[in-house]
Amino acid sequence: MTKRAYACEEMTSQAASAPTSSEIPGSLNPTQRAKDWKRLATEEFDVLVVGGGVTGVGCALDAVTRGLSVGLIEQRDLASGTSSRSSKLLHGGLRYLEQRDFALVREALHERSLLASSICPHLVRPVSFLLPLTHRVWQRVYYGAGVLLYELLALGRRNPLPRHRHLSRRTAMTLVPGFDDHFLVGAIRYYDAQIDDARHTLTVARTAARHGAAVVTSAQLTGLLREDDKSGDDRVVGATITDVETGEEIEVRATKVVNATGVWLDEIQDMVGGSELHVTAAKGVHIVVPREAIDSDSGLILRTPNSVLFVIPWGRHWLIGTTDTSYELDRAHPAASASDIDYILEHANHALRRPLTRADIVGVYAGLRPLVSGEGGDTARLSREHAVLEPVPGLISIAGGKYTTYRLMAADTIDMAADGLDRKVPKSCTDRLPLIGADQWSTFKDNAARLAREYELTTEAVDRLLWRHGSRVDDVLALVANDPTLGEELPGGGYIAAEVVYAARHEGALHLDDVLARRMRISIENDQRGLLVAEQAAALMAPELGWNDDRRRLEVERWQTRIDAELAANAAPDDGTADEFRQSAIDSRGLADA
């Protein structure tokens, strides 16, 4: 076996232990970006991944831990599209059992258990849901059997979540007093897992960078390089890339180019004449309301005519969604319209004692699900399963799938890429590869009170830091030790100032929206949508990124423009007007913010 074939085992062992040097592993910052940009211009890679969502970063991590040389580019920010706009759940898809898709559910539950128990336990936490029963006998038998099967499919998979319970009407109402008791005669309480999708995607990318992947954001693919191979067949051998920050254009050579661009998949494939694999975009909208708006100790699942509506605990807030509608407009500008918001409020209010109004909403977000195209126009019925295809030699497209199964999607994609290389490539090892922050997680979690005393922070602030950074919380708190003012809580979100500095210094944030919308979630967790903290955050980022006063003011102005456009879109009818409003929200990279 070659030395390269041992790469997985070597890297897995390395990741499982804390770094011994003072250097922070997997740092993404302007210095690293400049080095990796030079690598893209001068090296030839085994694999070039296009797309910085969870599927793309998953592919980069899978490939680099098999010993392959890897570059990854993203035209905006990591997780700036679909991967920061999900329901924040890791789940097997309880409703897919009704469709008898047992293999998909089993696969997803396996992945949920891996993520929660060993891959990134610091980013995952259990969340309970009530499944309301409206009929006394048949639903308890029918739904109870479904939930039991759901848990049985997870057995033997190190399932870390509590078991389900059947509840009487009275017991159910003690858990969810804010819900109207007229719509249930009992309930079943079961557990799934919750994850901050944007932070998880970032952590996968940082882990890939730690192992040698060249990761460059604000890098837009503008063309594919093609040559005839020895047999005379046309093949993709790389890509033309433009630095959105500077306008510089380079050619990147790669044996395989992976198209992991989600709803933009067809745009890349069209550069080589198209493909039989296509994606259909489905818009999903969520609203965010304060925790006190609904008196409940559990989430809830409500059936709607088209799908289901989740009421999901989210720290100090509730996430309520989602819609599931076809989307034919500009995919760079998905926007929640007035009718989307009204739909969510209407169906949520069917179950609430105190109806929610628009005044309760502190945040709204819309995302596009990339579904593998199928028959019919009902996006809820199109497959969530993924498909991998090589439309022309050298270009591999990955489409569809669920957030929960990103790792399997990546492994399948790199398996196909490995078939075209001139050497044996080890199998995927990411099922036993902890992400950055997972090492010694239980030790750090058990020392939360000590950390709060040592750094004079509230226990809530430390808890939030731990569930966002894991064992790398030491890196964030080191900033507070050097400058105690960075321990101050920022207005409107419960985050501390050090997290802004850390985001620019180690987490690849290049612009204000990267911090307010994804490194932190202030944009959806405060009714001011981050405007209260924009000036302060920009001032903290400025010395890290070399901004002068004009650039700092420009970043704040662009954030204000974005928020104004989003609020206008949320009040617009669902006829394309919402997207016209969003068109005016041009982000700092010169691209309309997704």
Q: Which residues contact 360 (CB under 8 A, 6 or more apart)?
A: 289, 290, 293
**Domain containing residue 498:** 441-583
Pairing between β-strand 395-400 and β-strand 386-392 as defined by DSSP bridges: antiparallel
Q: What is the pLDDT of residue 594?
A: 36
Q: Does residue 134 surpass a pLDDT of 80? A: yes
- Torsion 427-59-329-247 (CA) sign: negative
DSSP type of residue 119:
I
Query: Is residue 429 within 8 Å of 414, Cβ to Cβ?
Result: no
Q: Compute the average pLDDT of residues 72-77.
A: 97
Does 19 score more than 50 pLDDT?
no
Reported confidence tier of residue 381, pLDDT bands at 50, 70, 90: very low
Asked if residue 348 has pLDDT above 80, the reply is yes
Residues 49, 70 contacting (CB under 8 angstroms): yes
Structural domain includes residue 260: yes
Q: Residue 352 forms beta bridges with which residues?
A: 179
Strands 279-290 and 299-303: unpaired
Question: Are 458 and 540 contained in the same domain?
Answer: yes
pLDDT at position 61, please?
98
Encoded tokens for 586: 């041009």
- The upper half-sphere exposure of residue 166, i.e. CA atoms within 13 Å in the direction of its Cβ, equals 12
Look at residue 99 in the predicted model and tell me its pLDDT.
Answer: 72
What pLDDT sits at residue 573? 78
- C-alpha closest to that of 593 among 201, 77, 54: 77
Q: Give the Cα separation of 371 and 331 in Å (integer).
A: 13
396 & 542 share domain: no
Q: Pick from 539, 548, 545, 501: which is nearest to 520 by CA?
A: 501
What is the CA 410 to chain-centroid distance, rounded?
15
Question: What would the mean pLDDT of 56-60 be, rounded to a whole number?
Answer: 98
The H-or-E segment that residue 46 falls in is: strand 44-50
- What is the domain-level CATH number for residue 523? 1.10.8.870
Q: Mean pLDDT, to the nearest integer, of 464-476?
A: 95
Q: What are phi and psi of 489, to 5 degrees?
A: -75, 135
Are 458 and 538 part of one and the same domain?
A: yes
Query: Is 88:194 a contact under the CB 8 Å cutoff?
Result: yes
Question: Cβ(555)–Cβ(512) under 8 Å?
Answer: yes
Taking Cα atoms as reference points, which of 201, 54, 55, 193 lies closest to residue 124?
A: 193
Cα–Cα distances in Å, from 257 out to 219, 234, 239, 436, 470?
15, 14, 8, 26, 33
586 pLDDT band (50/70/90 cuts)?
Answer: very low
Under DSSP, the state recorded for 437 is T
Strand residues in 304-414 grouped as ranges (E): 308-314, 317-321, 325-326, 363-372, 386-392, 395-400
**Within a domain: residue 158?**
no
Tokens of residue 116, six digits: 């929660």
Is residue 317 included in any domain, yes or no? no
C-alpha dihedral sign at 532, 533, 536, 538: negative
Same domain, residue pair 396 and 461:
no
The yes-or-no verdict on residue 393 having pLDDT over 90 is yes
Distance CA 191, CA 176 (A): 15
Domain check: are 407 and 455 in the same one?
no
pLDDT surpasses 90 at 11: no
Kindly state the tokens that stand for 2.
């070659």
Of 379, 376, 306, give the one whose Cα is nearest residue 344: 306
- Nearest CA to 472 out of 499, 511, 495 is that of 499
> Cβ distance 320 to 375 under 8 Å?
no
Q: Which two tokens stand for residue 235?
A: 């093949």
CATH code of 41's domain: 3.50.50.60
Coil vs helix vs strand at 216: strand
Question: Could you tell me if 461 and 498 lie in one domain?
Answer: yes
User: Do 255 and 389 lie in a common domain?
Assistant: yes
pLDDT at 382 over 60: no
Q: Is residue 304 part of a domain?
A: no
The domain boundary, picked from 394, 410, 432, lies at 432
Tokens of 65: 């831990």
CA 264 to the chain's CA centroid: 17
Q: Which two three-digit tokens encode residue 512?
A: 């204000």
- Quick: pLDDT tens for 531-547: 999 999 999 999 999 99
- Which residues are paired to 283 by β-bridges? 325, 368
Determine the Cα–Cα distance for residues 381 and 140; give it in Å rounded to an integer: 26
If pLDDT is split at 50, 70 and 90, which confidence band does 16 have? very low
Neighbours of 386 (CB within 10 A): 20
Same-domain pairing of 521 and 397: no
Q: How far is CA 113 from the centre of its chain?
A: 18
Of 98-107, 114-123, 533-542, the poorest mean pLDDT is in 98-107
Same domain assignment for residues 505 and 398: no
Domain assignment of residue 590, yes or no:
no
pLDDT at 593: 42
Distance CA 537, CA 560 (A): 13
Report yes or no on 337 lying in a domain.
no
pLDDT at 12 over 60: no
**CA 362/CA 525 separation, integer angstroms:** 6
Q: What share of the chain is helix, strand, coil (3-state, %, to 5)?
A: 45, 25, 35
Give exposure, 50-81, as e/b (b: 16+ Cβ within 10 Å): bbbbbbbbbbbbbbbbbbbbbbbbbbbbbbbb
Q: Token pair of 572, please? A: 């617009």
d(CA 342, CA 405): 31
Residue 93 token pair: 């898809």
Q: How many CA atoms lie within 13 Å of 382's alpha carbon, on the beta-carbon side?
A: 26
pLDDT tier at 374 (50, 70, 90 boundaries)?
very low
Is residue 390 in some structural domain?
yes
pLDDT tens for each residue of 178-237? 998 887 899 999 999 999 999 999 999 999 999 999 999 999 999 999 998 777 778 999
Token pair listed for 291: 């925790």
**Partners of 586 in the beta sheet?**
592
Question: What is the β-pairing status of strands 325-326 and 299-303?
Answer: unpaired
Q: What is the 3-state secondary structure (H, E, C) of 536-564?
A: HHHHHHHHHHCCCHHHHHHHHHHHHHHHH
Based on the fold, state whether residues 255 and 396 are members of the same structural domain. yes
Q: Is the dihedral of CA 333, 334, 339, 342 positive or negative?
A: negative
Q: Indicate the residue among 372, 398, 432 that finishes a domain.
A: 432
Domain boundary (397, 432, 467) is at 432
How far is residue 110 CA from its own chain's centroid?
19
Average pLDDT, integer, range 35-63: 98
Which pair of structure tokens corresponds to residue 231? 């047999």
Are residue 415 and residue 502 in the same domain, yes or no? no
Which amino acid appears at position 536 of this protein? Q
Classify residue 212: in a domain, yes or no. yes
Q: Which of 129-133, 150-154, 277-281, 540-544 has the highest mean pLDDT?
A: 540-544
DSSP strands (E only) in 102-248: 124-133, 165-168, 186-195, 214-217, 219-228, 234-243
Q: Look at the chain and report how many structural domains it folds into.
A: 2
Same-domain check for residues 400 and 461:
no
What is the model's pTM? 0.93
